[in-house]
Chains A and B, each alone.
Chain A
């Protein structure tokens, strides 16, 4: 597997899905075991990536480059750099843990796990693809399993949520498609002189045609891509699909949605928009900072007003993704590194929160914040774990969320001081809604209604503890992840900000 490690990571889950297709549906245990095994392989390979990744270069590594559809110059071009490595690691980890967290799925088990594996394949593909067409293909491929996972295994309003998610994302994809075609027609392959989907060629401004060099066109293309990616992040005001999708989706799907899918928006901006249209990125950066601030504060205020635990966590995601935007807008080393670190950290922390919400939902069959109280006495271990996740979410030092938020503020403060000062209010409001929820759910006198709720189980702890350890370790010493990305990201800043 050494040669084609990225392809193996991407397509091994597909093989797993294919195997599952041949297992009779009533053999549920076997299906689940196969799914877990199929998701474990990318995780093992991810560890191998982490070990072997060369931290000293900004160049793409583990590259696989083949001609695919010759007549349109479409290539099978995979490779990773410091920006994609953390995302690939995150995807492999969360996918595996989510398979474990889905152990209780009893409805159409076979379809669920097959779709989940296809979803994983598409996600890893997105983060590895270096050919725009291939990227787009994986991007669209994600939609389908996600649509069914929400639409079939979701809550009461699942169909509404699934369609909303699907159409919204599709609308974004259309804009991305148009931009992609514009690039395809206006970027010249320096070797052959033909059109190309190769992202690396697109990043080299010398390959751009005269039409593509016009400022208005570049701004227009930037905006097209931006809206496409903004829907995924999601950036205010394109965010309302998210709370619905989260609330209706089954726990593991929420985890993937918040943990990985949201990152694709910001990943796309950094992978495609920033290097291909660096001047437009600079032009837009202040607006991006404003969007970041709005996301942070608006998301936090909306979260405060929620009475559904899952919705609260969903809005907190919007708020926390705002920090990523804020960091990206700064275009300083601290800002961008902080932003990507925040993408990773939000992935782990929010995953913990959704898993924890799932734990209580499985037991009490509701998520009304005001319907609980005093769980701290009934479920002490669960309380500790959930509190850990919540404190990580409000940026408590010693846990990973703090490091990235601090870096983002260090990065953005010299550039957009006022925006930074306003955004920093988010650390107060964030603490307010989180602690208020913590109080209403866990503190106070014991609620007799829940006297027979069992504490968190071993399997549930198995899904939470690895993430928790990661959150703690990166909070104490973040360099292992920063080392992976800093060379590539500093190079990106050089490209964009000159």
Chain B
């Protein structure tokens, strides 16, 4: 395939789901089967095209090979914003992941959503989501990454709230959108910082700028933390993880596609894609956030009895692993785990849907013994569980192992052992809660005989996707770790110096149209040395790591981590088998003995309650204060001014009436009186006038004399 053919194919892949959305949204109602075949067939076509691109990059075999094309979207002379597309090895893997799961979920939904009154809307929204997600994957700059980032947020909102007549769904979708907005706030500020300082948002140009020291120091750290906030929101990391468990209000295929396999991984993809932009400080934040999420979410999963919620918390936990891997400077393994996780977690959610479809309940307390009733569902679920638990041979083993190895290597070189300890603890909990789920839902005696009797295996449209994903869950790893297997053909750490050389940015740091003069003055390259955190800064160190002491550390760490994690899997599965299969220990007794801990876990560490008591309340209180201030103070002043003016006009009216008018009238009265007086003088007789005249003259003479 030529470069142009790759780009055209990618554009078609992007366009197909959009077209499916438009057709289904506007015309679905009029079509036979409400137009579901459009979504399925278009996604099937997109899948085939994605395979073509994947094969093409397989043949190229060079992870650094990339195809890019941009066009000017906004041009104001001094402001340029480009829209562009980037296809490289990592993109082709993501295209595969998204189209595979999306196609299978489309197919699965024809069975699962059958008979819903907004059936065509569901397919339209699925198409829109796929389009937005592919947009994230294909963008070559941060601005359009953000655009599609928000659009997947919208599709998530629409699909979580698909059953919006339920209050819980209506609350959940609002919560998801708003929580994501908090993350996006930081994301957007990070983007603004990079754009202001570097004058570009193209990924590779930014890498070159970071390498050249255009942006460094505190500014780079803050910008990195800002970008990561976007990941915290979208990939549901603590403390913004609260929306994901509630998002399970959406139909189960949506949970599989959006809230397990693809969208929630977008944050991981973003950080991995932009890994050179994160300085050492930001990386440390990422590492700890990921590790804490991995562990905390796994503990909550231990006590949940809602089938989907257990899976939701396990998703949180696995996303935490990926983020931890990013923070340890191993973005390749993060992407590898993203890929394997998409397969087995997509699978697990779809099997969950199959179970829920059969027993009409999500509570594992209503299940039990389903193994015999639903054999395909059971066996595929088992494969997913084994993969998620990290049982050797299954895909999850290879990817999770890589992450734990990197975390341990990071601890051995930098002294931060806590993330690894949390990670390995989560590796113990994962098989335990997964097998707890398995034993309670599929083994033992049916808890609810009536539900059990009605349960049946799902139709082929639902089981075929399960089988395909189960096969992928086994084989997707290629039975090798990321750096040794097929994945190394598609993703390696960026060779940042080479990228910088491409843009002729080794030495210069000058971008004239930005005003942050103070940051420009800051010395370049000031931070990494002090913290000795080599792996984080850029891919350059990875290249060096190939030969040197660092390599040995990594090798040792990976071996140790592998043995520890295998031990954890044995312990975890054995523990679950002991408690939930052999019933040697009564879980309710443990629960009673550790009731405090149980309450905390069941209450999900009370994050929701905490936010309700602080953030929500404060916001609503402050809104009420503002509104009251507006109504009573500001409008009060306005109305008061109006009132005062009226009062003054009333007063001046009175004044006018009594004083001014009084004076005028008084003068008139006086004049009238004078007139009356003078009238008497006017007699008409000449003699009288003569007397007056003489008298007047006399008076005048006297006055004159006196003066």
Contacts and interface: CB of A to CB of B under 8 A. Distances in A.
Nearest to A335: B79
B642 interface: yes
Contacts of A334: 76, 78-79
A337 B76 CA distance: 8
Interface stretch (A60-68, A206-214, A431-439): A431-439
A461 interface: no
B698 interface: no
B650 to A, nearest CB: 17
A154 to B, nearest CB: 18
Contacts of A374: 165
A98 interface: no
B638 A240 contact: yes
Contacts of A301: 622-623, 626-627
A490 B626 contact: no
B171 A298 contact: no
A42 B79 CA distance: 33
Interface string B589-620: 00000000000000000000000000000011
Interface in A236-286: 236-237, 239-241
Given A304-B619, A396-B150, A427-B185, A432 B178 contact: yes
Interface string B165-200: 111011100100110011011001100110110000
A415 B513 CA distance: 11
B151 interface: yes
B702 interface: no
Interface in A375-419: 376-377, 391, 396-398, 402-403, 406-407, 409-411, 413-415, 417
B624 A305 contact: yes
A285 to B, nearest CB: 13
B188 A427 contact: yes
A428 interface: yes
A333 B189 contact: no
A479 interface: yes
Interface in B423-452: none
B224 to A, nearest CB: 16
Interface residues of B, number: 52
A428 B154 CA distance: 14
A439 B174 contact: yes
A108 interface: no
B146 interface: yes
A136 B161 CA distance: 51
A377 B118 CA distance: 10
Interface stretch (A6-14, A178-186, A441-449, A462-470): A441-449
A306 interface: yes
Contacts of A168: 638
B79 A377 contact: no
A302 B619 contact: no
B177 A397 contact: no
B165 A446 contact: yes
A414 B624 CA distance: 33
A339 to B, nearest CB: 12
A420 B75 contact: no
Nearest to B637: A237
B165 A377 contact: yes
A410 B167 contact: no
Contact of B177 (A431, A444, A479): A431
Contacts of B486: none
A158 interface: no
Given A398-B151, A415-B515, A445-B165, A410 B76 contact: no
A427 B516 contact: no
Contact of A410 (B169, B177, B192, B626): B192
A495 interface: no
Contact of A240 (B78, B166, B626, B630): B630
Contacts of A428: 178, 181-182, 185
B165 A333 contact: no
B623 A490 contact: no
A433 B620 CA distance: 10
Nearest to A485: B76
B320 to A, nearest CB: 24
Nearest to B171: A439
Given A444-B164, A482-B74, A397 B185 contact: no
Interface of A: 164, 167-168, 236-237, 239-241, 298, 301-302, 304-306, 332-334, 337, 374, 376-377, 391, 396-398, 402-403, 406-407, 409-411, 413-415, 417, 420-421, 424-425, 427-429, 431-433, 435-436, 438-439, 442-446, 477-479, 482, 486, 490
Query: What 7 A-B pairs come out closest when comparing CB atoms?
Result: A305-B627, A443-B170, A397-B147, A304-B623, A301-B626, A414-B515, A305-B623
Given A443-B161, A486-B76, 14 more contacts: A164-B638, A237-B634, A240-B630, A298-B626, A374-B165, A376-B164, A377-B165, A413-B193, A413-B196, A427-B185, A435-B178, A443-B165, A444-B167, A490-B76
Interface of B: 73-79, 143, 146-148, 150-151, 154, 161, 164-167, 169-171, 174, 177-178, 181-182, 184-185, 188-189, 192-193, 195-196, 514-516, 619-620, 622-624, 626-628, 630, 634-635, 637-638, 642
17 contacts: A236-B634, A241-B638, A301-B622, A305-B620, A333-B79, A397-B147, A410-B196, A417-B516, A424-B188, A424-B189, A428-B178, A428-B182, A443-B169, A444-B170, A477-B73, A479-B75, A490-B77
